[in-house]
């Protein structure tokens, strides 16, 4: 359980860090279309994170199921004819659920910061370097 808590905190902190980094990169890029695309993709990423991280159940075998990813919230194991569930304590479940939802935002923000960084480098290079500026 300690491992789940530490992993969840790392995911949450990483998501916040890369989200702030992506917003700063978008502000430096000064392209309203890219900012609008990120603004529309962020809530969609949170919705996908909710569905995959909390509401979806993953079957990993005939006798084993998980609910939530990348940090499992509930683990189910088939014993005889009954499914036995192993649930984390409520406080830890909330932290893990937040990490699962924010994981998709972390991935989106990470990709956005990489793309914006490359676009900013192309803009700063300009036509004097022999490269075509980004249109």
pLDDT (0 to 100) of residue 78: 93
- Digit-coded pLDDT (tens) for 17-74: 999 999 999 998 888 998 999 999 999 999 999 999 999 999 998 999 999 999 999 9
Higher pLDDT, 58 or 124: 58
- Digit-coded pLDDT (tens) for 60-111: 989 999 999 999 999 999 999 999 999 999 999 999 999 999 999 999 999 9
CA atoms within 13 A on the CB side of 97: 16
pLDDT (0 to 100) of residue 29: 87
What is the DSSP track for 59-126? EEETTEEEESSSS-SEEEEEETTEEEEEE--HHHHHHHHHHHHHHHHHHHHHHHHHHHHHHHHHHHHT
pLDDT (0 to 100) of residue 123: 81
Q: Where are the domains of the chain?
A: 2-55+90-129
pLDDT (0 to 100) of residue 76: 94
Give yes or no for a contact between 10 and 70, defined as CB atoms under 8 angstroms apart: no
């Amino acid at each position: 359980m300690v491992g789940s808590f530490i992993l969840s905190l790392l995911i949450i902190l990483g998501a916040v860090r890369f989200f702030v980094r992506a917003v700063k990169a978008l502000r430096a890029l000064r392209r309203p279309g890219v900012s609008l695309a990120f603004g529309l993709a962020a809530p969609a990423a949170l919705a996908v994170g909710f569905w995959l991280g909390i509401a979806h159940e993953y079957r990993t075998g005939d006798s084993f199921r998980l609910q939530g990813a990348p940090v499992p919230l509930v683990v189910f194991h088939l014993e005889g004819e009954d499914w036995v569930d192993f649930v984390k304590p409520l406080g830890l479940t909330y932290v893990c659920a937040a990490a699962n939802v924010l994981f998709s935002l972390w991935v989106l923000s990470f990709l956005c910061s990489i793309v914006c960084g490359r676009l900013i480098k192309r803009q700063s290079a300009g036509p004097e370097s022999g490269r075509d500026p980004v249109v």
